[in-house]
Structure 1
Amino acid sequence: MRLFAAVLPPAAAVDELALAARKLRDMPGAGGLRWTERAGWHFTLAFMGEVPDERVPDLTERLARAAHRTEAFRLALHGGGRFGDRALWAGAAGDLAVMRRLAERADAAARKAGLDMDQHRGYTPHLTLARSRAATLDLRPFVTALDAFEGTPWTVGDLALVRSNLPRSGVPGEQPRYEEVERWPLRAAG
């Protein structure tokens, strides 16, 4: 199964971001973007790709330990950014050092479970809003429009393991479906 570790924002945070994203969809060039669905909005911490069934128990045990070693932390959706002109994303503010540490621990858990994590790069907290359909679309105006976005902070209290079910229908625009496999509480703050 195709898996990743993630922080899942609460419904209230998703609602706030949805209002901001709705305005972006009215901007010139928005039709050249493939917008992600709010049901799929998450902060990926470590993408594991295809994980053999026999590795899942070891992976989940190691992720549970990573969650237990990490203190709950404050986070808010904040501003935005882009990866070149390929992807537009909402950013985060808050205790990003703890979030990065959780991402590193999730990555280490996957490596220790025997998964190939060589594609994993330095962690940039982001929630993907859209991907470009054309290599020539300038995403900078969208990023600028997100500059003032500031969501309400919440406490991240758990680490989720999510399964990504890729589209199979062949219908243009169909998006992956995400299914929560398991969730572990983070250590209480203080």
Structure 2
Amino acid sequence: MNEQATQDEHWRLFIALLVPASIRETLAAVQAGLHKAAPNALIRWTNQEQLHLTLRFMGNVPASSLDELAAALKAAALKCDALRLCTQGIGFFPNSTRPRVVWSGVADDDHRLERVFQVVQEATNPFTVEPQEHRFTGHITLSRVKAIRSAELAELRLTAEKYEGRSFGAWQANELVLMRSVLSDSGARHEVIHSFPFFPGAAQES
């Protein structure tokens, strides 16, 4: 078991792909532009250092399960090849009329990202009570909207439209990462618990 964990602890975990610093810096500039469009809205912007692509939110997982979870993720990663990813454009969940999440989309040239998502879902099902996602939209969360007036929402949407089709950078993802989210009054802090390299050539063997 992880040396930092005790038998009765629960850790708030998620599985992710990390984003290079250069792209996080570009996305931070995009965040600044979006914030300028809605400066008085109640929006929680993702810290630049914490921008990532979530493959699965695990919720609170017993620390005693960490070793088994790590073994499952290691095996899952070996079924996947490295991914060539690109982040582009701005979108809203659930929609642009009543947005709760502002995000930048992530796509891959070889259309293998969804397979990685499915492999991760299957590997982690035994370790979480969080529902399995059946519809996947690759994205990087830029902010969460708590409250926004209609005038500022209109400006936010107009600003987002200016980024339509615009690329914010491409990168190669070579590993899965198991992350811990530590909640506090000042916000969440993310820690890398384990990383699991993909297996070169796995796409050809699958």
Question: Which bin holds the TM-score, normalised by the shorter protein?
Answer: 0.7 to 0.9
SS in 2 for 1:70: coil
Q: Give the corresponding residue for 2:141.
A: 128
Q: Which of 86, 91, 94 matches 1:81?
A: 91
Q: Structure 2 counterpart of 1:35, which letter?
A: W
CA 96–122 in structure 1, closer or farther in 2 if over 3 Å, else same:
farther
Q: Return the offset for 1:142.
A: 4.2
Q: Structure 2 counterpart of 1:31, which letter?
A: N
Q: Structure 2 counterpart of 1:57, which letter?
A: D
Q: Give the corresponding residue for 2:40.
A: 31
Q: Structure 1 counterpart of 2:131, which letter?
A: D
- Residues 20-70 of structure 1, C-alpha deviations (whole Å, 9 max, x = no match): 22222211x243122111111111001110000121111110111111110
- CA–CA distance in structure 2, aligned partners of residues 45 and 30 of structure 1: 30
Q: Return the offset for 1:121.
A: 4.1
- CA–CA distance in structure 1, aligned partners of residues 55 and 12 of structure 2: 14
Q: Structure 2 counterpart of 1:181, which letter?
A: I
Q: Give the corresponding residue for 1:46.
A: 56
Structure of greater Rg: 2
Q: Alignment RMSD, CA only?
A: 1.9
Return 5+ residue gaps in structure 2 as ranges. Answer: 1-10
Aligned residues: 183
Percentage of identical aligned residues: 31
Please say if residues 86 and 108 of structure 2, whose CA atoms lie closer than 8 Å, have aligned partners that are also in contact.
yes
CA 76–156 in structure 1, closer or farther in 2 if over 3 Å, else same:
same
CA 129–96 in structure 1, closer or farther in 2 if over 3 Å, else same:
farther
Q: Give the corresponding residue for 2:196.
A: 184
SS in 2 for 1:13: helix
Please say if residues 68 and 186 of structure 1, whose CA atoms lie closer than 8 Å, have aligned partners that are also in contact.
yes
CA 64–95 in structure 1, closer or farther in 2 if over 3 Å, else same:
farther
TM-score, normalisation: structure 1: 0.87
Return 5+ residue gaps in structure 1 as ranges. Answer: none
CA 96–54 in structure 1, closer or farther in 2 if over 3 Å, else same:
farther
5 Å-filtered alignment, 1:133-148, equals: 133-134=146-147, 138=153, 140-148=157-165
- CA–CA distance in structure 1, aligned partners of residues 172 and 141 of structure 2: 20
Q: Return the offset for 1:72.
A: 0.4
- Residues 109-154 of structure 1, C-alpha deviations (whole Å, 9 max, x = no match): 111x342242534111111111112165535334313314312211
- CA–CA distance in structure 2, aligned partners of residues 187 and 142 of structure 1: 40
Please say if residues 31 and 45 of structure 2, whose CA atoms lie closer than 8 Å, have aligned partners that are also in contact.
no
Please say if residues 20 and 149 of structure 1, whose CA atoms lie closer than 8 Å, have aligned partners that are also in contact.
no
5 Å-filtered alignment, 1:152-167, equals: 152-167=169-184
Please say if residues 86 and 135 of structure 1, whose CA atoms lie closer than 8 Å, have aligned partners that are also in contact.
no
Larger deviation, residues 154-163 vs 89-98: 89-98
Please say if residues 82 and 89 of structure 1, whose CA atoms lie closer than 8 Å, have aligned partners that are also in contact.
yes
Q: Structure 2 counterpart of 1:129, which letter?
A: L
